[in-house]
Amino acid sequence: MRLKAISTVLPLVCFTLAGLSAYRCLAAKGVNCGQRQLSFLALIKSGKAANEGDWPWHTAVFKKDVGYICGGTIISENFILTAAHCTTYYRTLIPPDNFLVKLGLHNKSHPYDHTATHEIVEVIRHNDFNTENMKNDIALLRTEDDIVYSDYIQPICLWPQDRSSLNEVLSSSGYVIGWGLGDEDKPIDILQEATLSVVDRATCLKSKPLHFEKLLSENNSNFCAGNRNETNVCDGDSGGGMFFELGNAWYIRGLVSTGVRSKNSRHCDPQQFVLFTDIPYYLKWMHDHQQMAKKRNLLDLGNCGLDEHSLLTEEIDKPVFLQYPWTAMLEFKGDLSTTIHPFCNGALIHPQFVVTVGHCVDSNLKKYKLKSVRLGEYNQKTNPDVGKKINGKEVSTNIQSIDIEKVFKHPEFNKPRYDNNIALLKLKFPADIDRPNVKPICVPTLEDHNEQYVVSGWKRVGKESHVLTRDLTLLEDADTCREVYRKFNIHTSVNHICGTYFQEDIQQCFHFMSGAPMQYVKRVDQKNRYFLKGLFSFGFPGCMLNYTDVFTSIHKYTDWISKIVDQET
């Protein structure tokens, strides 16, 4: 830091769970946040080395193969708050297991005995983070183990919701800290601190109009601060917090986001204002993810979606056999025949529940009646199926065919047309999920955004349609998808997600059966797990390259799913 300021971090321990309007920091009510434990240390002076223990909530974020990259702030026993751009490296997402966070650190190069090091098991970037304009520049790092508080390690208080107006801090100076570049454009080992003045939007825009017109949000989700002298935050201070003392506790107001590049170097210009992510705007977002940590998968299943491969293993390099054991096949029988017809797919989300699309259970299928669900299938022409587990051991697997006890079609199915296309099937008895070929997939509590997804199931036609297969897909922009289907008088909604395939083999572009699950891998609770993203709903007829299919978004129906499962179990 050029005797400059840094960013902000928020403490999730400091708000209630009632509702956004009820958020308050609880420091005055006995919650131990924003407290310096070593009160005998000297007060902060602008532009100097910090006293050890003065900022016990500030953390150092490291990329294992690079070194120190950003600052962060402790907000609870499980979460570090930082900037979203600190979770990317040259615009490539940094995987959780490549992070290391050091707490209670004063000298970056020489940790003391009271310094604690934590691995990260989950990175939660804001879904709408934009690398072009740095909007929604906020992220949470979830630690593998609980953070243990000490004199040198403490959580910060969250900024009070009832004081969220920027007028509360205009013309006031907030404290910023970090190990960013110093006066000679060289990294600093000893933690630095400084004060920066918060300025209004007009002042910030006037200082450098073209620059800040692009970066400043209309929704007041960020703000500017700076002294326009040599005291400022700089490279390496990103992700740190801006802190104010309110009453008897310290609170975080902002996160260091981005500044202005110097004309004479590739580093920051300390004479310019710096942009901060405004914490009060993101209170609900942080609260939701704090709750998510307590219950990462909706139905609270400890064995759901397990993936034994490394996160570094490409999806296309994993075997299909036993890799997607929740992929289900819906079995129909004709009125005048006992022959089984597998017309649709689905996903096992609970030992006794399968989720599929609504049109697969609709009464319009007059000649056929849905009777049962087949689990553990791989090759429809062989039973048992024989293959190898990840450890190389050969295994023989049999299917389970279980009758359906109840069908729950969404009450708003096809209202409007093609919308709310989802249904739940309750099995007459629980599936045997101790078998390697029958396991439930996790249902997410909140919406996740990944770079790539995989769809598994059986194709409707094709020479290999009897064998379980998969295709990789990328999410299509919602507006683009909407325009594509509008030409066919089909209207997609917020309840839909669109996936575009990029296949080289023309034989592989046939459609999956309806209800085929779209999934993704995320590391949770020290394990790699698959989560259900969507169910194949409809697409273009025929075989086309680079085509876009429409999926029912599971996230939009989690409350409905949870309510039914709770009532029926």
Over residues 206-236, the pLDDT tens digits come to: 988 888 888 888 888 999 998 877 665 666 6
Let me know whether 249 and 336 are in one domain: no
With respect to residue 21, please indicate whether it lies within any of the assigned structural domains. no
534 backbone dihedrals φ, ψ, rounded to 5°: -165, 175
With respect to residue 245, please indicate whether it lies within any of the assigned structural domains. yes
With respect to residue 153, please indicate whether it lies within any of the assigned structural domains. yes
Q: Is the pLDDT of residue 544 over 60?
A: no
Are the CB atoms for 127 and 138 separated by under 8 Å? no
CA dist., res. 284 & res. 222, Å (int):
16
Q: How confident is the model at residue 43 (pLDDT cuts 50, 70, 90)?
A: very low
Let me know whether 319 and 279 are in one domain: no
Let me know whether 149 and 188 are in one domain: yes
Domain boundary pick from 229, 258, 292? 292
Let me know whether 52 and 161 are in one domain: yes
Q: Is the pLDDT of residue 45 over 90?
A: no
Percent of the chain scoring above 70 in pLDDT: 84
Q: pLDDT at position 522, please?
A: 85
Q: pLDDT at position 144, please?
A: 81
Let me know whether 275 and 322 are in one domain: no
Does the global pTM surpass 0.85? no
Let me know whether 255 and 336 are in one domain: no
With respect to residue 6, please indicate whether it lies within any of the assigned structural domains. no
Domain boundary pick from 292, 327, 361? 292
Are the CB atoms for 445 and 531 separated by under 8 Å? no
Residue type, position 561, single letter? I
Residue 323 belongs to domain with CATH number: 2.40.10.10
DSSP single-letter state for residue 287:
H
Q: Is the pLDDT of residue 540 over 90?
A: no
With respect to residue 173, please indicate whether it lies within any of the assigned structural domains. yes
Let me know whether 119 and 237 are in one domain: yes
Domain boundary pick from 252, 277, 292? 292
Are the CB atoms for 158 and 10 separated by under 8 Å? yes
List, for residues 362-388, the tens digit of each pLDDT value. Answer: 866 678 889 999 999 999 999 899 999
With respect to residue 12, please indicate whether it lies within any of the assigned structural domains. no
Let me know whether 366 and 486 are in one domain: yes
Q: How confident is the model at residue 532 (pLDDT cuts 50, 70, 90)?
A: very high
Which structural domain range is residue 537 located in?
A: 315-568
List, for residues 154-175, the tens digit of each pLDDT value. Answer: 999 989 888 889 999 997 889 9
Let me know whether 202 and 274 are in one domain: yes
Measured CA to CA in angstroms, residue 428 lies from 255, 340, 344 at distances of 52, 18, 19
Q: How confident is the model at residue 285 (pLDDT cuts 50, 70, 90)?
A: very high
Measured in Å, how far apart are the chain's first and last C-alpha atoms? 57
CA dist., res. 74 & res. 118, Å (int):
12
Number of Cβ atoms within 10 Å of the Cβ of 282: 18
CA dist., res. 119 & res. 99, Å (int):
7
Q: pLDDT at position 236, please?
A: 61
With respect to residue 297, please indicate whether it lies within any of the assigned structural domains. no
Closest CA to 221 of 291, 284, 292, 293: 284
List, for residues 423-475, the tens digit of each pLDDT value. Answer: 999 999 999 999 999 999 999 887 777 778 999 999 988 788 899 999 998 88
Structural domains counted in the chain: 2
Closest CA to 535 of 465, 477, 455: 455
Let me know whether 285 and 416 are in one domain: no
Are the CB atoms for 5 and 175 separated by under 8 Å? yes
Let me know whether 116 and 257 are in one domain: yes
Let me know whether 156 and 258 are in one domain: yes
DSSP single-letter state for residue 281:
G
With respect to residue 22, please indicate whether it lies within any of the assigned structural domains. no
Closest CA to 164 of 23, 304, 329: 23
Strands 517-524 and 527-538 turn out to be antiparallel
* Chain centroid, CA 409 distance in Å: 29
